[in-house]
Amino acid sequence: MARMHARRRGKSCSVRPYRKQAPAWSVTDTKAIEKIILELRKEGASSAKIGLVLRDRHGVPDVKLATGKRIGQILRENKVATEIPEDLRDLMSKALGLRKHLAENKKDLHNKRQLQLCESKVRRLVKYYTGSKKLPKEFVYKPDQAEILLSR
């Protein structure tokens, strides 16, 4: 897959192997996996972090193959999902960090450009999520209000 703001391609062959069933050696106890996911979420872990912990500590290579649902879907069913999707939240925190950096270093042109690229990704994602009704239709990204949104 090509990069969004560069005309290069990513690492070649960086895809997971195609599977329809969980491997025989993996843990496939659905209730135990869901319990672990909810415990990790209460500790404040993101869905990406939850997936890594399940893979590394508990021997679950793919949650969807083991349970039939994705991590986000399990979180939504148990009403512990965040209001703002995690990818959008991460990009907003990155843009906020770049803004703080540029407040101290006004002549840093490279990071000024990176801030522009990051905020354009945020706007593109907001447009997607408002269209797919995962965010309210009146949601608009404003950099001065991003810190308030992320503190929730």
Output Rg (C-alpha) for the chain, integer angstroms. Answer: 19
What is the per-residue pLDDT across 64-73, written as a single tens digit (0 to 9) for each?
A: 999 999 999 9
Higher pLDDT, residue 105 or 12: 105
Tally of CB atoms within 10 A around 91? 21
Answer yes or no: are the C-beta atoms of 93 and 150 closer than 8 Å.
Answer: yes
Length of the chain: 152
The confidence score (pLDDT) of residue 92 equals: 94
Residue boundaries of the structural domains of the chain: 30-77, 86-151
- Percent of the chain with pLDDT strictly greater than 70: 92
Angle of the 86-104 helix axis to the 143-151 helix axis, nearest 10: 120
Higher pLDDT, residue 15 or 41: 41
Cα distance between residue 42 and residue 110, in whole Å: 38
Mean pLDDT computed over every residue of the chain: 90
The confidence score (pLDDT) of residue 40 equals: 96
pLDDT tops 80 at residue 112? yes
Look up the pTM and report it.
0.79
The confidence score (pLDDT) of residue 10 equals: 66
Cα 84–chain centre separation: 10
CATH class of 86-151: mainly alpha
The confidence score (pLDDT) of residue 23 equals: 87
Q: What is the pLDDT confidence band of residue 91, given thresholds at 50, 70 and 90?
A: very high
Q: What is the pLDDT confidence band of residue 1, given thresholds at 50, 70 and 90?
A: very low
The confidence score (pLDDT) of residue 27 equals: 84
